[in-house]
């Protein structure tokens, strides 16, 4: 509850600090302070030191899993603001409002990590999405950004409609909004009716849209490409992982209600997501667009947590969220400073900025899932959970995933190749010392988790 209340309050505080201060740096510092308080509040909540208790009538369920994810989301946002705060200030004049929207999105995320009622699921998804529609169009003079924002809004509204239809059908099937109804008001087992499975299918479609899984991914490249790069970074990492947390919370208890169709639909979605994400990413010329498609491909891997939906999958999704968020935030922080977003723009970066080129390499290796980086264990846990759940029937799925992981190495290494083995004048805006130190710290965290994943995973139990 701490995270939900504090993030809402921090959002309101940010709104008002925009009235009193026109100094953009001061606003960024306020946001950093707010995020620190939020992080501390959430950690206190995790270890039951101090919790604001509210009678939620069982609509919210707080556990270690959700609280740990909150900490990761808030911590990643903190790193993101520390790294890219200067770039957020450059997007437009309404800096205070941008930060307020980021805090509101965090409020939605903390709802999604603890919901126990479909009503809260809906509110969480909406509170998380609406700030994003606006942040996408934050750069009002950029036509591409406007188009992306409108497209995102219309499609997002449509997917919300589908989710509401699903929730209504589920309500019709059980007579209440709980995700795990203990007793049904109507004495019909959920599996025998049509309303329950159909409702779950609708919610599945809508959540797949939010995490850009394959048949519902069409908005992703345009929106990620059109939005200001700083906000793409936020969208592609923290928000996307939060979508998966919502997915797991809902479907780990409900997937058997879909019975047979679940075993057919989910592998299809996973393979389609991996196929479209990886193959299209190979043909991109712009690094930003490549990252958009790679985020679709990474979503394909995260969907394995849904397929497994056991303890291993829960650990894995926490690990994956951390590894993927940290690496992508780092890559975007460097990308934003580049003059040219194409692969050629990275030519010869290693000669001019050896340190930045090195940390960028670490991030890319982590995304590709090379051992000794966090990305390796993240992918390992995902595939292991699928094997543990499905046994031999899941083997073909794992082999397909491994093949596509090999494909992904190609486009991640194109950036590394451009940085180290091509001659050119990579142009970059000025970076200060703090920026570089932070990037090195993030790279260290990625390598540390890559060697001792238990550092992070033990937090789930103690």
Partner 1 sequence: MNITQILFWILSGAAVISAIMVVVSRNPIHSILWLIVVFFCISGHYILLNAQFLAIVNLIVYAGAIMVLFLFVIMLMNPNKTNAQQKSLWKKLVGVIAGGCFLLTWIPLIKQAPEIHNKVALLKDGNIGLIGNLGKVLFSDYLVPFEITSVLFLSAMVGAVVIGKKE
Of residues 1 through 20, those in contact with partner 1 by CB under 8 A are 4, 8, 11-12, 15
Of residues 158 through 187, those in contact with partner 1 by CB under 8 A are 172-173, 186
CA distance 447 to 452: 9
Torsion of CA 333, 339, 340, 343, to 10 degrees: -50
Give the residue among 258, 267, 227, 254 at the shortest CA–CA distance from 101. 227
For partner 1 (CB under 8 A), the number of binding residues is: 44
**Candidates 65-73, 118-126, 397-405, 426-434; binding stretch for partner 1 (CB under 8 A):** 118-126
Count of CB atoms situated within 10 Å of the CB of 429: 10
Of residues 301 through 340, those in contact with partner 1 by CB under 8 A are none
Sign of the Cα pseudo-torsion (228, 281, 319, 260, in order):
positive
**Cβ-based neighbours of 208, under 8 Å, separated by 6 or more:** 214, 215, 216, 269
Binding residue (CB under 8 A) for partner 1 from 81, 138, 207, 291: 138
Report, in Å, the least distance between residue 136 CB and partner 1.
11
Binding residue (CB under 8 A) for partner 1 from 62, 69, 80, 133: 133
Nearer of residues 105 and 418 to partner 1, judged by Cβ: 105
Nearer of residues 48 and 141 to partner 1, judged by Cβ: 141
Interface mask (CB under 8 A) for partner 1, residues 75-114, using x and -? -----------------xxx--xx-xx--xx-x---x---
Count of CB atoms situated within 10 Å of the CB of 450: 21
Report, in Å, the least distance between residue 193 CB and partner 1.
5
What would the two tokens of residue 6 be? 């504090």
| Local structure of residue 369 (DSSP, 8 states) | T
Cα R_g (the chain), whole angstroms = 21
127 forms part of the interface with partner 1 (CB under 8 A): yes
Contact 81, 88 (CB under 8 A): yes
- How many angstroms from the chain centroid is the CA of residue 118? 21
Give the residue among 20, 24, 32 at the shortest CA–CA distance from 103. 32
Binding residue (CB under 8 A) for partner 1 from 59, 230, 245, 326: 59
Interface mask (CB under 8 A) for partner 1, residues 190-209, using x and -? --xxxx--x-----------
| Local structure of residue 163 (DSSP, 8 states) | H
45 forms part of the interface with partner 1 (CB under 8 A): no
Report, in Å, the least distance between residue 360 CB and partner 1.
32
CA distance 297 to 274: 5
Nearer of residues 70 and 298 to partner 1, judged by Cβ: 70
Count of CB atoms situated within 10 Å of the CB of 36: 12
**Candidates 82-90, 137-145, 269-277, 368-376; binding stretch for partner 1 (CB under 8 A):** 137-145
SS3 for 431? coil
Report, in Å, the least distance between residue 122 CB and partner 1.
9
Binding residue (CB under 8 A) for partner 1 from 54, 279, 395, 455: 54
Nearer of residues 193 and 330 to partner 1, judged by Cβ: 193
Binding residue (CB under 8 A) for partner 1 from 37, 134, 265, 400: 134
Give the residue among 37, 32, 31 at the shortest CA–CA distance from 12. 31
Report, in Å, the least distance between residue 36 CB and partner 1.
21
Binding residue (CB under 8 A) for partner 1 from 119, 165, 355, 398: 119
Report, in Å, the least distance between residue 225 CB and partner 1.
20
DSSP readout, 196-249? HHHHHHHHHHHHHHHTT-GGG-THHHHHHHHS-HHHHHHIIIIIHHHHHHHHHH
CA distance 94 to 90: 10
Report, in Å, the least distance between residue 177 CB and partner 1.
9
Contact 27, 19 (CB under 8 A): no
Q: Which residues bind partner 1 (CB under 8 A)?
A: 4, 8, 11-12, 15, 54, 56-57, 59-60, 92-94, 97-98, 100-101, 104-105, 107, 111, 117, 119-120, 123, 126-127, 130-131, 133-134, 137-138, 140-141, 172-173, 186, 188, 192-195, 198
């Amino acid at each position: 509850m701490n995270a939900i209340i504090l993030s809402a309050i921090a959002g309101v505080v940010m709104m008002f600090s925009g009235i009193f201060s026109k100094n953009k740096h001061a606003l960024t510092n306020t946001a950093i302070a707010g995020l620190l308080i939020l992080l501390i509040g959430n950690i206190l909540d995790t270890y039951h030191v101090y919790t604001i208790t509210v009678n939620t009538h069982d609509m919210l369920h707080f556990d270690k899993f959700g609280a740990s994810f909150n900490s990761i989301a808030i911590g990643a946002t903190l790193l993101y603001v520390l790294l890219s705060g200067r770039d957020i200030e450059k997007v437009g004049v309404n800096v205070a409002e941008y930060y307020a929207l980021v805090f509101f999105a965090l409020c939605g995320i903390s709802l999604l990590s603890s919901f126990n009622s479909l009503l809260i699921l809906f509110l969480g998804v909406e509170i998380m999405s609406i700030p994003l529609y606006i942040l996408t169009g934050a750069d009002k003079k950029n036509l591409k950004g406007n188009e992306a924002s409108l497209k995102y809004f219309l499609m997002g509204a449509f997917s919300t409609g589908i989710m509401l239809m699903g929730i209504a059908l589920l309500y019709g099937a059980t007579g209440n909004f709980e995700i795990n109804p203990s007793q049904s008001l109507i004495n019909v087992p959920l599996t025998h009716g049509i309303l329950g499975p159909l409702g779950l299918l609708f919610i599945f479609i809508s959540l797949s849209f939010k995490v850009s899984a394959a048949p519902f991914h069409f908005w992703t490249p345009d929106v990620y490409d059109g939005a200001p790069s700083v906000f793409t970074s936020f969208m592609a990492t923290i928000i996307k992982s939060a979508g998966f947390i919502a997915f797991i919370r809902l479907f780990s208890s409900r997937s058997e209600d879909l019975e047979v169709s679940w075993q057919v639909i989910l592998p299809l979605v996973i393979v389609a997501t991996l196929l479209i994400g990886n193959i299209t990413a190979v043909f991109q010329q712009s690094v930003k667009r490549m990252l958009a498609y790679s985020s679709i491909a990474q979503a394909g891997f995260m969907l394995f947590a849904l397929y497994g939906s056991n303890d291993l999958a829960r650990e894995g999704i926490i690990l994956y969220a951390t590894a993927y968020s940290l690496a992508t935030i780092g890559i975007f922080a460097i990308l934003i400073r580049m003059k040219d977003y194409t692969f050629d723009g990275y030519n010869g970066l290693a000669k001019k900025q050896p340190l930045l080129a090195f940390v960028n390499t670490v991030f890319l290796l982590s995304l590709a899932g090379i051992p000794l980086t966090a990305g390796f264990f993240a992918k390992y846990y995902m595939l292991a959970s699928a094997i543990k759940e499905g046994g031999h029937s899941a083997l073909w799925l794992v082999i397909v995933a491994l093949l596509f992981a090999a494909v992904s190495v190609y486009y991640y290494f194109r950036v590394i190749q451009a940085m180290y083995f091509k001659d050119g004048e990579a142009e970059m805006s000025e970076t200060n010392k703090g920026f570089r130190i932070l990037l090195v710290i993030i790279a260290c965290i990625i390598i540390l988790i890559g060697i001792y994943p238990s550092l992070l995973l033990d937090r789930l139990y103690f």
